[in-house]
Amino acid sequence: MEKTLRSVFIGEVAELPQKLGKTVIVGNKEIAVFKTENGDIRAIENRCPHKGGVLAEGILSGEYVFCPMHDWKISVKDGNVQAPDVGCVQTYPVEVKSGQVYVLIRE
């Protein structure tokens, strides 16, 4: 089966909370979508590699989210866990077209 990128509309830019995450459920996938302070929109897997914490509820500072469970620091840009912890989460490309936000999911 060939894998394709599917573009999923998740809402208007204006409807996403600033400096916070939003939980987006696509099928059985949970994605955390963040609107950062400078307006960038980032999408990562809503699951901390440590103990499965919901990253969408973490504190967002610049390009990093702090997991609400045990404070792991994870880049919302490239999904990398920051030292001293290690690991990474899956990231999803985001497209914004005339104020509408699409997350690209590989199927």
Partner 1 sequence: MIKQKLVLIGNGMAGVRAIEEVLKINPDGFEVTIFGTEPYPNYNRIQLSKVLQGGTSVSDITLNDWEWYQDNMIRFYPGETVTAINTKTKTVSTDKGRTESYDQLIIATGSNPFMLPLPGADKEGVKAFRNIKDCEEMIEYSKKHKKAAVIGGGLLGLEAARGLLNLGMEVDVIHIFDYLMERQLDRTAGKLLQAELEKQGMNFILQKNTAEITGRKHVTGLKFSDGSRIKADLVVMAVGIKPNVALAQEAGIPVNRGILVNDYLETDIPNVFAVGECAEHRGIAYGLVAPLYQQGQVLAKRLCGVRDNGYQGSVLSTQLKVSGVDVFSAGKINEDESTKVYKMYDDWNGTYKKVLIEDGKIAGAVLFGDTKDGNKLFDFIKKGALIEEYLESSQSANSEVNLVASMSDEEIICGCNGVTKGSIVEAIKANGLTTVDQVTGCTNASRSCGGCKSLVSDLLACTLGEHYQADQKEAICGCTTLSRDEVLAEIREKGLTHIREVMNVLEWESDGCSKCKPALNYYLGMINPLKYQDEHEARYVNERMHANIQKDGTYSVVPRMYGGVTTSEDLRKIADVADKYKVGMIKVTGGQRIDLLGVYKEDLPKIWAELDMPSGSAYSKGLRTVKTCVGENFCRFGTQDSIGMGIRLERKFEGLNTPHKVKMAVSACPRNCAESGIKDVGVVGVEGAWEMYVGGNGGTHLREADLLFKFKSGDELVEMIGAFLQYYRESAKYLERTSAWVERLGIDHIREVLSDELMVKEYNNRIDEALSVVQDPWKEAINNKNLLRDLYQNVKVPVETK
Note the residues at the interface with partner 1 (CB under 8 A): 6, 8-11, 15, 17-20, 22-27, 33, 37, 51-54, 57-64, 66, 68-69, 71, 73
User: What's the closest the beta carbon of residue 3 comes to partner 1, in angstroms?
Assistant: 14
User: Which lies closer to partner 1 via its Cβ, residue 54 or residue 88?
Assistant: 54
Cβ-Cβ contacts under 8 Å for 17 (sequence gap 6 or more):
35
User: What's the closest the beta carbon of residue 86 comes to partner 1, in angstroms?
Assistant: 18
User: What's the closest the beta carbon of residue 107 comes to partner 1, in angstroms?
Assistant: 9
Structure tokens at 36: 């950062």
- Rg of the chain taking only CA atoms, in angstroms: 13
User: What's the closest the beta carbon of residue 98 comes to partner 1, in angstroms?
Assistant: 19
List the one residue out of 80, 37, 38, 31 whose CA is nearest residue 55.
31
The Cβ-side half-sphere exposure at 39, using a 13 Å CA radius, reads 5
Can you tell me whether residue 18 is helix, strand or coil? Answer: strand
User: Which lies closer to partner 1 via its Cβ, residue 23 or residue 99?
Assistant: 23
